[in-house]
Amino acid sequence: MTKKATFFLLIIFTLVSCTKIKVTPSENLEVNDFIWKGLNTFYLWQGNVTNLTDNRFLNSDSYHQFLSSEPNSVQFFENLLYQRETIDKWSWIVEDYNALENSFQGISLHNGVEFGLVFERGSTTDVFGYVRYVLPNTDASIKNVKRGMIFNAVNNTKLNINNYRSLLFSDNLDYSINLADYNNGNPISNGMSISLTKSEYTENPVFITKTINSGSKKIGYLMYNSFTTNFDDELNAAFLVLKNEGITDLIIDLRYNGGGSVRTAVYLSSMITGQFTGQLFAKKQWNDKISISNSSLEEKFTNQINNGTIQESINSLSLDRVYFITTNSSASASELVINGLNPYIDVRTIGTKTHGKYVGSITLYDSPKMYNKENINPNHTWAMQPIVLEIKNKLGENSIEGFTPNILIAEDYSNLGVLGEISDPLLNRAVTYITTGSKSQQASRKSSFKEFYNSKLAQPTSNNMYLEFK
């Protein structure tokens, strides 16, 4: 742990220790007590929530009464969030911190299909799915599931807005997808189905690394699907490959990357550049209760990976321009990289507008210090991931509504192409942009279909940007 983190955590310990109201043990009360104290101390919008103010309760009796007022701890948590639908859309709580920690490491029960869910043409109820990509060495890869496959039913039940969760995201390890022909957005079942089984799987987010030769350009392409700390060495190794191949330009594909570790976002940005080591990459803004030194608020470009388990020099490319492929699924740490690099180099984006996630979280446990599990309460396994900070770039900027692409081109569900190949329309457009400089929108298209959900959003860490204290 760095000196900065240690100093910060000492401040946090002081704040948590100052909460003098005690609660009589019982699981519901203990969980609600943990929720209130954690949000009262860390929550970014603590000052905007009347029930989280320091002087909200006159004595222990009134505090007990408040904790007992909502027996459902998830609802108790939700009731304390600030403008859930419009401002804080991202804080969450889990009953099992083991599953949460696994998710941070890319571990989940998975059959290998990453997919998006889209409303059928002209409908707000009927739904179809499309395969985004297939994870290697999974049941789906063995059964030859391919990107671009369309399915409109599961276990022979037609998908709709009311049943997709129970059909696709239940605790059942097995289900069958019923395939369909696209039919211009109103898929027609073709009688084919594929049975899939979930098993524990660890996803390597470094999905594709390759070099594309186009004219005089040697273009590096990296498809990166999550900012997962325990794969920082794999990310660094990918950059060494690109560096050794002498690439002239770089495309980083973040179209399905919902974010992850702030620290890994700094590492990725330092790999792209390398000429700004020690300079300010981003600045964190906490709530008014957390008063710490300016140095502890800063994230700086670095030339070293040191995440607690991996220590190695960063393989940097020293580029002054980078191209990102983005969609609405590009969120949080993905947007942090774009935002943090903007004041320093020429950042260009191809695809559709990013999600608009400009705030970060930390994991809180029911323990004396809350930021780790030391002396954790053995009576339950609840943990929460509240929004605790806003992150801005060197110029004090972020993009609350997301980043609008330089070249607008949406994915075409009838023609997704192959990831990493020129047959992928978004990659093709990015390569054309690099080789010709053309921003012409003639070949671009904006989808008339609304993707409203995807398989990654079902994971505990979806669209998350988090700090780690290890």
Give the torsion through C-alpha atoms of 108, 114, 119, 120, to 10 deg. -140
As a whole-number percent, the residues of the chain with pLDDT over 70 amount to: 91
The tokens describing 284, both together, are 């964190």
pLDDT per residue as tens digits for the range 397-438: 999 999 999 999 999 999 999 999 999 999 999 999 999 998
Residue 284 has pLDDT above 90, yes or no: yes
- Indicate the pLDDT class of residue 292, thresholds 50, 70 and 90: low
Which residues does 144 contact at the CB level (< 8 Å), separation at least 6? none
The answer for residues whose C-beta is within 8 angstroms of residue 228's C-beta and 6 or more apart is 104, 105, 106, 203, 205, 260, 261, 264
SS3 of residue 468 by DSSP: coil
| Residue 18 reports pLDDT greater than 50 | no
Using CB atoms within 10 Å of the CB of residue 243, give its burial: 0 to 12 exposed, 13 to 18 middle, 19+ buried. middle
**Pairwise CA distance, residues 426 & 340, whole Å:** 23
Which of 9-13, 87-91, 339-343 has the least mean pLDDT?
9-13
Taking CB atoms within 8 Å and a gap of at least 24, the contacts of 363-367 are 363/97, 363/100, 363/101, 363/466, 364/34, 364/38, 364/42, 365/97, 366/30, 366/31, 366/34
Q: Integer distance in angstroms from the first to the last C-alpha of the chain?
A: 6
Q: What mean pLDDT is reported for the chain?
A: 91
Tens-digit pLDDT profile for residues 208-238: 999 999 989 999 999 999 999 999 999 999 9
Contacts of 98 (CB under 8 A, 6+ apart): 381
CA distance 34 to 28: 10
Domains located in the chain, CATH noted: 3-103 (no CATH), 108-201 (2.30.42.10), 206-442 (3.90.226.10)
Amino acid at 263: R
Structure token digits, residue 28: 């519901």
